[in-house]
Structure 1
Amino acid sequence: MTRKLLILLFFLVTILASSQNLEWKTNMTDAITASNEQRKPLLILFTATGASEALQNEVFKTPDFEKWSRKNVILVKLDLSDSNIESEVREQNIRLKNAFGVENIPEVCFASGSIRKGKTSFNTLGKLSYNSNGVKAWIADSNLIINPE
């Protein structure tokens, strides 16, 4: 009995440990390349220090979101207050925030991107903020944006 319990506990710990290993890209060029190679839209999270943690805690840190995101999107996190990034990158992130019309932080934009002749362009699919209806509702709203059929 103890052995079965230990085996079960081992599997549960393994699943939980691997479930929080989302890969958030911070370089837009790398994200666009991955997006085009995998034919998935970008999920761009605009955030900053002091922003509400509700979206992170109630959506992004859930197994449902992890499973959905791995199948459907390339994750990009642009922290507008990160003092460790170069000022040029920070300015680029702020320009992207303004170009996508982001007013509330944190906010998610769904987009596709391309780089041609050194020029980056985006096709905005939609934006989504936190709602208190839970991860399943957030995913359903996201699916309506990335799969508008």
Structure 2
Amino acid sequence: MKIKYNGGSQFIFNGKKVSLALNPSNDLKTDIVLLSKESKDVVFANSKVCDWPGEYEISSVPIIGVPVLGKDFVIYRFTIDDISICFLKGVSEILNDDVLEKIGDIDVLLISIGNGPDTLDAKKAHDIFEDIDPRIVIPFEYDLEN
């Protein structure tokens, strides 16, 4: 599987048989689009779109969407090519046991780190790394100056 970072909170995953985009800013030719926050700004005519919590299987990709308590964001866990990925955006606190149980074992953790209201500071991010214990961590939206 290939992972491409497109800036902000946008990623593209190209597996052997399926492609998935996270938070794309335009309509891409991917099989699946996951939006961590509902958006009516872009119409995705070429993809199956998910922007809500729940358990799904789209194009043979198992997807779990977990709501972020008190916010309009969704945490996603999905598996492509036997690699489990968790996308955390909109989280500003440590994850509770219920959320940790739902996302389960993770190979790759994508996590929003910064000083904004919908990001984690370094200490909380470190605590989440230890709770989830992923093989790989990919930070995004981080503040290079701080």
Same fold? TM cut 0.5:
no
Higher helix share: 1
Higher strand share: 2
Tell me the TM-score normalized by structure 2. Answer: 0.32
Q: Relative contact order, CA 8 A, sep 6+: which one is greater?
A: 1
Please identify the structure whose Cα radius of gyration is greater: 1
